Chain A
Amino acid sequence: MALISFMINGQPWKGQVEAHETLLDLIRDKLGLTGTKKGCDSGECGACTVILNGLSVNSCIVPALEVEGKEVLTIEGLSRGEVLHPIQEAFISEGAVQCGFCTPGMIMSTKALLDSNPHPSKQEIRQALAGNLCRCTGYGRIVAAVEKAAKMGGDDLAGNDSREISDKV
Chain B
Amino acid sequence: MPEMIVGKSATKYDAFAKVIGEAQYIQDLTQPRMLWGKILRSSLPHARILNIDTSKAEKLLGVKAVLTAKDLPGRRIGFGNDNEVLKRNKVRCVGDEIAAVAAVDEATAIEAMSLIKVEFEPLTAVFDPELAMAENCNVLVHESRGSNLSLEYHFETDEAALAASLDQAAVVLEDRFTLPFVTSSAMATHGCMALYRNGELTIWTPTQVPFLYQHELMMATGIPGNRIRVIQPTIGGGFGAKLDMYPYEAACVHLSMVTGLPVKIVFTREEEFQASRPRQPMIIDLVTAADRDGHLLARKAKVICDNGAYNSWGSTTPFVGMQTISSLYRVPNVRYDAQIVYTNNPYSGAMRGYGNPQHTFAVESHMDMLAAKLGMDPLTVRLINANQSGDVTPQKMKITSCAFSETLREAGKELGSLPSEPGKLRGKGIAGLLHVGGGARVYRSDGCGAVVKLDDMGRAVLLTGATDMGQGSDTILTQIVAEVLGLEIKDVKVINNDTNLTPWDVGSHASRTTFIAGNAAKIAAEKVRSQLITAAAQILNANPDQLLLRNKRIMVEDAPERFVDIGKIVRSLHFKQDGKLLVGEAFYDPPTEMQDNQFLGNVSAAYAFGAHGVEVEVDRATGVVKVLKVAAAHDVGKAINPLAIQGQIEGGCAMGLGYALSEEMKLREGRVINANFLDYRLLTAVDIPEIEGIIVESDEQEGPFGAKGIGEACCIPTGAAVANAVYAATGVRIKELPITPAKVLEGLNKMRSTFDT
Could you list which residues of chain A lie within 8 angstroms of chain B, going by C-beta atoms?
33-42, 44-45, 47, 74-76, 78-79, 84, 88, 91-93, 95, 97-104, 107, 125-127, 129-143
Query: Does B498 belong to the interface (CB within 8 Å)?
Result: no
Residue of B with least CB distance to A103: B18
From B185, B644, B691, give the contact of A135 (CB < 8 A).
B185
CA–CA, A45 and B16, complex, Å: 22
- Chain B 266-297 interface 0/1 with A at a Cβ cutoff of 8 Å (1 = within): 00110000000000000000000000000000
CA–CA, A78 and B25, complex, Å: 20
Q: Which residues of A contact B684 (CB under 8 A)?
A: 129-131, 133, 139
Residue contact A104 to B188, C-beta cutoff 8 Å:
no
Q: Which residues of B contact A92 (CB under 8 A)?
A: 11-12, 15-16, 19
With A95-B647, A102-B187 known as contacts, the answer to whether A34 contacts B28 (CB < 8 A) is: yes
From B17, B470, B691, give the contact of A99 (CB < 8 A).
B470
From A35, A42, A139, A143, give the contact of B22 (CB < 8 A).
A35
CA–CA, A75 and B19, complex, Å: 8
* A144 to B: closest C-beta gap in Å: 10
Q: Which residues of B contact A84 (CB under 8 A)?
A: 16, 19-20
With A93-B11, A99-B237, A126-B685 known as contacts, the answer to whether A44 contacts B678 (CB < 8 A) is: yes
Q: List 13 A-B contacts (CB under 8 A).
A: A34-B27, A37-B25, A42-B269, A84-B16, A91-B19, A95-B646, A97-B14, A99-B186, A131-B684, A133-B677, A140-B646, A140-B688, A141-B650
Residue contact B685 to A100, C-beta cutoff 8 Å:
no
CA–CA, A126 and B652, complex, Å: 19
Query: Does B47 belong to the interface (CB within 8 Å)?
Result: no
* B295 to A: closest C-beta gap in Å: 36
* B186 to A: closest C-beta gap in Å: 6
From A38, A79, A99, A129, give the contact of B27 (CB < 8 A).
A38
- Not counting A45-B677, A88-B20, A138-B652, a sample of 7 additional A-B residue pairs whose C-beta atoms are within 8 angstroms of each other reads A37-B188, A41-B268, A44-B676, A75-B19, A84-B20, A102-B187, A135-B651
Residue of A with least CB distance to B643: A95
Query: Does B653 belong to the interface (CB within 8 Å)?
Result: yes
With A34-B24, A37-B27, A136-B237 known as contacts, the answer to whether A101 contacts B188 (CB < 8 A) is: yes
Residue of B with least CB distance to A37: B27
Residue contact B686 to A126, C-beta cutoff 8 Å:
yes
From B19, B268, B654, B688, give the contact of A103 (CB < 8 A).
B19
With A91-B15, A91-B19 known as contacts, the answer to whether A141 contacts B647 (CB < 8 A) is: yes
CA–CA, A40 and B684, complex, Å: 15
Residue of B with least CB distance to A133: B682
Residue contact B20 to A137, C-beta cutoff 8 Å:
no
CA–CA, A33 and B186, complex, Å: 22
Residue contact B235 to A139, C-beta cutoff 8 Å:
no
With A42-B269, A102-B187, A138-B653 known as contacts, the answer to whether A95 contacts B685 (CB < 8 A) is: no
CA–CA, A75 and B187, complex, Å: 17
Q: Which residues of A contact B269 (CB under 8 A)?
A: 39-42, 44-45
Query: Does B236 belong to the interface (CB within 8 Å)?
Result: yes
Residue contact B677 to A44, C-beta cutoff 8 Å:
yes
Q: Which residues of A contact B27 (CB under 8 A)?
A: 34, 37-38
Query: Does B234 belong to the interface (CB within 8 Å)?
Result: yes
CA–CA, A96 and B650, complex, Å: 11
Query: Does B239 belong to the interface (CB within 8 Å)?
Result: yes
Residue contact A140 to B691, C-beta cutoff 8 Å:
yes
Q: Which residues of A contact B23 (CB under 8 A)?
A: 100
Residue contact B187 to A135, C-beta cutoff 8 Å:
yes
**B side interface size, CB within 8 A:** 54
Residue of A with least CB distance to B16: A92
Query: Does B307 belong to the interface (CB within 8 Å)?
Result: no
With A95-B646, A98-B647, A130-B685 known as contacts, the answer to whether A135 contacts B19 (CB < 8 A) is: no
Query: Does B728 belong to the interface (CB within 8 Å)?
Result: no
Residue of B with least CB distance to A141: B647
Query: Does B469 belong to the interface (CB within 8 Å)?
Result: yes
Residue contact B11 to A35, C-beta cutoff 8 Å:
no
Q: How many A-B residue pairs have CB under 8 A?
A: 167
Q: Which residues of A contact B9 (CB under 8 A)?
A: 95
Q: Which residues of A contact B646 (CB under 8 A)?
A: 95, 140-141
Residue contact A138 to B688, C-beta cutoff 8 Å:
yes
Q: Which residues of B contact A139 (CB under 8 A)?
A: 650, 654, 684-685, 688
Q: Which residues of B contact A95 (CB under 8 A)?
A: 9, 11-12, 643-644, 646-647
Query: Does B365 belong to the interface (CB within 8 Å)?
Result: no
Q: Which residues of B contact A88 (CB under 8 A)?
A: 19-20
Q: Which residues of B contact A45 (CB under 8 A)?
A: 187, 269, 677
Residue contact A98 to B470, C-beta cutoff 8 Å:
yes
Residue contact B676 to A137, C-beta cutoff 8 Å:
no
From B187, B650, B655, B677, give the contact of A101 (CB < 8 A).
B187
Residue contact A76 to B676, C-beta cutoff 8 Å:
no
CA–CA, A98 and B647, complex, Å: 8
- Among A34, A92, A125, A131, chain B packs the most CB atoms within 10 A around the CB of A34
* B107 to A: closest C-beta gap in Å: 9
CA–CA, A35 and B25, complex, Å: 10
CA–CA, A91 and B11, complex, Å: 10
- Among A78, A98, A131, chain B packs the most CB atoms within 10 A around the CB of A98
From residue 1 to 21 of chain B, which have CB atoms closer than 8 A to chain A? Answer: 9, 11-12, 14-21
Residue contact A36 to B691, C-beta cutoff 8 Å:
no
Residue contact B650 to A140, C-beta cutoff 8 Å:
yes
Residue contact A136 to B651, C-beta cutoff 8 Å:
yes
Residue of B with least CB distance to A87: B19
* B160 to A: closest C-beta gap in Å: 47
Residue contact B655 to A135, C-beta cutoff 8 Å:
yes
Residue contact B21 to A76, C-beta cutoff 8 Å:
yes
Q: Which residues of A contact B28 (CB under 8 A)?
A: 34
Q: Which residues of A contact B653 (CB under 8 A)?
A: 138
- Chain B 398-428 interface 0/1 with A at a Cβ cutoff of 8 Å (1 = within): 0000000000000000000000000000000
* B680 to A: closest C-beta gap in Å: 9
Residue contact B682 to A76, C-beta cutoff 8 Å:
no
Residue contact B19 to A137, C-beta cutoff 8 Å:
no
- Among A34, A40, A136, chain B packs the most CB atoms within 10 A around the CB of A136
Query: Does B472 belong to the interface (CB within 8 Å)?
Result: yes
Q: Which 5 A-B pairs have the closest CB atoms?
A: A35-B21, A99-B470, A138-B654, A100-B18, A101-B236
Residue of B with least CB distance to A122: B690
Query: Does B698 belong to the interface (CB within 8 Å)?
Result: no
- Chain B 183-204 interface 0/1 with A at a Cβ cutoff of 8 Å (1 = within): 0111111000000000000000
CA–CA, A67 and B179, complex, Å: 46
Residue contact B651 to A130, C-beta cutoff 8 Å:
no
- Chain B 649-670 interface 0/1 with A at a Cβ cutoff of 8 Å (1 = within): 0111111000000000000000
Residue of B with least CB distance to A36: B21
Q: Which residues of A contact B188 (CB under 8 A)?
A: 37, 39, 99, 101
Residue of B with least CB distance to A76: B21
- Chain B 24-56 interface 0/1 with A at a Cβ cutoff of 8 Å (1 = within): 110110000000000000000000000000000
CA–CA, A75 and B236, complex, Å: 17
Q: Which residues of A contact B237 (CB under 8 A)?
A: 98-99, 101, 135-136
Residue of A with least CB distance to B11: A92
From residue 659 to 714 of chain B, which have CB atoms closer than 8 A to chain A? Answer: 676-678, 682, 684-686, 688, 690-691
With A40-B677, A101-B188, A141-B646 known as contacts, the answer to whether A132 contacts B685 (CB < 8 A) is: yes
CA–CA, A34 and B268, complex, Å: 17
From residue 226 to 247 of chain B, which have CB atoms closer than 8 A to chain A? Answer: 234-237, 239
Q: Which residues of B contact A93 (CB under 8 A)?
A: 11
With A92-B16, A139-B685, A142-B685 known as contacts, the answer to whether A104 contacts B21 (CB < 8 A) is: yes
Q: Which residues of A contact B14 (CB under 8 A)?
A: 97, 100
Query: Does B324 belong to the interface (CB within 8 Å)?
Result: no
From residue 450 to 489 of chain B, which have CB atoms closer than 8 A to chain A? Answer: 469-472
